[in-house]
Chain A
């Protein structure tokens, strides 16, 4: 079963994603980081296969963390989950920095799982 780390400063979004992931049967959620810096630490301790990460967070934001993760860990697959997915420049920047996909909020469980299964 693939391990997924959720990174979002919002408790409610983390709850939604953890529920979708853990009820899927294909993935297990290994933790919740509240900003980019925590994500980098938890990537080291939890060694997830996939990271679902918000862009807009206080402290270290998602794109900064993505930039670091893409250098530090070539194996982990990062998917951005953000309300800013429809902003073309943000979407493009995320792909250029190595994100595998970008999921726009509000999201649907089926869409999230389809994208995670395609990784």
Chain B
């Protein structure tokens, strides 16, 4: 019921043991050389060059390939050749499991098909953003996965509204927020009314009524929904080659005047119209 990677799926289904998976991952680690290691293996640079580049990386926020070009150690064409060699020799986890005898070739194909079917519900459909950003695909996926989790976790009928760029965050009963860091820097927020907070609490706690629950528990359920969405977004982002770290969720109670957008951030608002006439909002405060 969540975004998974193939190895996790196999362990969870009891197809391979966690010991076999770790052995296959170790085989991958030995086989799948990093860019610098591959450049050395191809005789283009020396280990000493890599050490110099790594030292330079401490004071420069640059990818190793770009830095090696800037330092005159590799040409752009050579970086491209190294990346191609990495891609062509990459050992996938399924292949590694076959190599260590934990799966047969036929079994691998069968499990890949089962994995594809399990994860089909999380394949992203198109969402139009009103901005162009280097990470547009990530933000589209974030909105799409939020919609999917509203259906699967909260069991709510809804209609997504048009995404807009906002100049302020409108007042609401409460917001739950989570900061995202790594290759992307942003804050993810869900804004809900009092009645939607109760709907979320009923779904998360699997209780028919939450009238006697404390405010702390009710708020916690919205934070947990944000945690589940963002954890799965981070998993999907890693499949897209983007590192995304998540932090513990927090609650925000906006004043009646709403909240200003922090300097240097772009705010995207995704209205989500719930079946009974209520609206929640997903908000992304994207830095840079």
Tell me the A residues contacting B by CB distance below 8 Å. 9-13, 15-16, 19, 56-58, 82-89, 91-92, 95-96, 100-108, 111, 115, 118
Stretch at the interface among B17-25, B34-42, B103-111, B253-261: B17-25
Task: Return chain A residues, CB-CB under 8 Å to B224.
Answer: 10, 12-13
Verify A108–B14 contact, CB threshold 8 A.
no
Task: Return chain A residues, CB-CB under 8 Å to B5.
Answer: 86-88, 91
Task: Return chain A residues, CB-CB under 8 Å to B246.
Answer: 56, 83-84
What 0/1 readout, one digit per residue, does chain B (1-23) give for beta carbons within 8 Å of chain A?
A: 11111011001101000100110
Verify B4–A108 contact, CB threshold 8 A.
no
Bound CA span A107–B3, Å? 11
Supply 20 further A-B pairs (C-beta < 8 A) apart from A88-B8, A104-B8, A105-B231.
Answer: A10-B220, A12-B205, A13-B224, A16-B205, A83-B2, A83-B232, A84-B246, A85-B8, A86-B3, A86-B4, A86-B8, A87-B234, A91-B8, A95-B21, A96-B22, A101-B12, A102-B11, A102-B12, A103-B12, A111-B12
Task: Return chain A residues, CB-CB under 8 Å to B22.
Answer: 92, 95-96
Question: A12-B217, A106-B153 in contact; A87/B228 too (CB < 8 A)?
Answer: no
Chain B contributes a number of interface residues (CB within 8 A of A) equal to 40
Bound CA span A27–B8, Å? 25
Look across to chain A and name the residue whose beta carbon is closest to the beta carbon of B234.
Answer: A87
Minimum Cβ distance to chain B for residue A23 (Å): 11
What 0/1 readout, one digit per residue, does chain B (217-253) give for beta carbons within 8 Å of chain A?
A: 1001101100111111011101000000011100000
Pick the most buried of A95, A103, A111: most chain B CB atoms within 10 A of its CB.
Answer: A95
Classify the secondary structure of A's interface with B.
mixed
Look across to chain B and name the residue whose beta carbon is closest to the beta carbon of A13.
Answer: B224
Verify B18–A56 contact, CB threshold 8 A.
no
Verify A104–B227 contact, CB threshold 8 A.
no
The reply on B162 being an interface residue by CB < 8 A is no
The 10 A-B residue pairs with the shortest CB-CB distance in the complex, in nearest-first order: A83-B231, A86-B235, A104-B2, A86-B3, A88-B5, A12-B221, A11-B220, A58-B248, A86-B4, A84-B231
Verify A56–B223 contact, CB threshold 8 A.
no
Look across to chain A and name the residue whose beta carbon is closest to the beta carbon of B226.
Answer: A83
